[in-house]
Amino acid sequence: ALRDHADEGAGFVVATHDPDVIAHADAAIHLRNGRVVSEAATQRGPARPATTAAPDAPVAVSANGVSKRYRRGSEVVHAVEDADLTLQRGQLSVLIGRSGSGKSTLLGLLAGWQRPDEGSVAYAAGASDPSRAPWHELAIVPQKFGLLMDLSVRENVALPLRLAGRSAGPVDPLLADLGLTELAERLPTEISIGQQQRVAVARALVVAPTVLLADEPASHQDEHWRNAVWTRISAAAQAGTACLAVTHEADVAGYAAAVWEMRDGHVTRMA
Ligand code: ADP
Ligand code: MG
């Protein structure tokens, strides 16, 4: 629609890291470290490792016939309809679907943040109520990050270790891998939204969780950091975590051992 309006004579400036958007533009102004540089290149990152877990890897979580409806006055939204999904240890699964298809609601059901109207969610770890699972069993990257605004970047990342009563964990390697070392003493309000998102990813992985639920964990990343985020999540899967990542980036399926598609509340296993 912006392109159409531009063709009719309107002028737009769009701030983006999305090469698809750049492909629609008449001109690209490339910023790096706050400076305008003349190039408009978007270079593809390093080759991606696919996670290859054994098909008989133990099931960590399963959703069995879960449905969730939202009621607003007389209107009923069928956000999730009779969905079945299993997550296995050591696998990265991705859940792909358009905006509004029910992905975040399904994640909320798996996380125990929402209660299903029908069906059930079962955790192999034994926690019948996932909302009470500690972070080392169930770590989440919420769509809006959920960072604690009074804590520094480093303190946010280290928080699950504190809550688990652990003194040591891979805080520094995670900060380094996700480009946060130089920002470690800043508050979340003092870094960009993409950097905040990477703090949420680092925080989720610091305890090597049994299960990771990540809601569009690379949605604010450029090509380089998108690769870094998916590489780090793939590494967690290879180390044994059952990972589910919601995304609408279809190319992420290349990282995944299982691909689930969501359409109007219905879930189908694609690969
Ligand atoms: P996605 O994450 O795939 O974009 P969501 O799970 O957020 O989708 O939403 C699925 C559907 O449920 C959408 O139609 C959305 O508008 C609706 N929805 C989400 N949250 C609420 C709510 N709290 N009240 C009413 N409708 C909601
Ligand atoms: Mg969502």
Q: Which of 70, 72, 106, 249 to mutate to test the pocket of ligand 1 (most atoms within 8 A of CB)?
A: 70
Please say if the pLDDT value at position 250 is more than 90. Answer: no
Q: Minimum mean pLDDT among 52-56, 231-235, 253-257: which range?
A: 52-56
Indicate the average pLDDT of the chain. 86
- pTM metric for this prediction: 0.81
Query: Is the separation of the CB atoms in 62 and 229 below 8 Å?
Result: no
Tell me what pLDDT residue 40 has: 57
**pLDDT tens digits, residue range 182-198?**
999 999 999 999 999 99
Q: Can you tell me which atom of ligand 1 is nearest the CA of 246?
A: 2
**DSSP string spanning 223-261?**
HHHHHHHHHHHHHHHHTT-EEEEEES-GGGGGG-SEEEE
From the CA of 261, which ligand is nearest? 1
Cα separation, 79 vs 131, in Å, equals 20
Tell me what pLDDT residue 13 has: 75
180, 190, 179, 188: which is closest to 151 by C-alpha?
188
75: confidence class by pLDDT, cuts 50, 70, 90: very high
Tell me what pLDDT residue 184 has: 98
Q: Where are the beta strands (DSSP E) in the chain?
A: 30-32, 35-37, 59-72, 75-88, 92-97, 118-123, 138-141, 211-215, 242-247, 258-263, 266-269
Query: 58 versus 3: which is more confidently predicted?
Result: 58
Length of the chain: 271
Query: Is the separation of the CB atoms in 80 and 105 below 8 Å?
Result: yes
Query: Is the separation of the CB atoms in 245 and 205 below 8 Å?
Result: no
How far, in Å, from the CA of 113 to the mean position of ligand 1? 14
Give the binding-site residues of ligand 1, using a 6 Å CB cut-off.
70, 72, 77, 79, 97, 99-105
How far, in Å, from the CA of 204 to the mean position of ligand 1? 24
Please say if the pLDDT value at position 10 is more than 50. Answer: yes
When pLDDT is averaged across residues 107-126 and rounded to a whole number, the result is 90
How far, in Å, from the CA of 100 to the mean position of ligand 2? 7
Tell me what pLDDT residue 68 has: 98
Cα separation, 183 vs 180, in Å, equals 5
What one-character DSSP code corresponds to residue 170?
A: S
From the CA of 142, which ligand is nearest? 2
When pLDDT is averaged across residues 119-148 and rounded to a whole number, the result is 83
How far, in Å, from the CA of 215 to the mean position of ligand 2? 7
How far, in Å, from the CA of 193 to the mean position of ligand 2? 17
128: confidence class by pLDDT, cuts 50, 70, 90: low
From the CA of 97, which ligand is nearest? 1
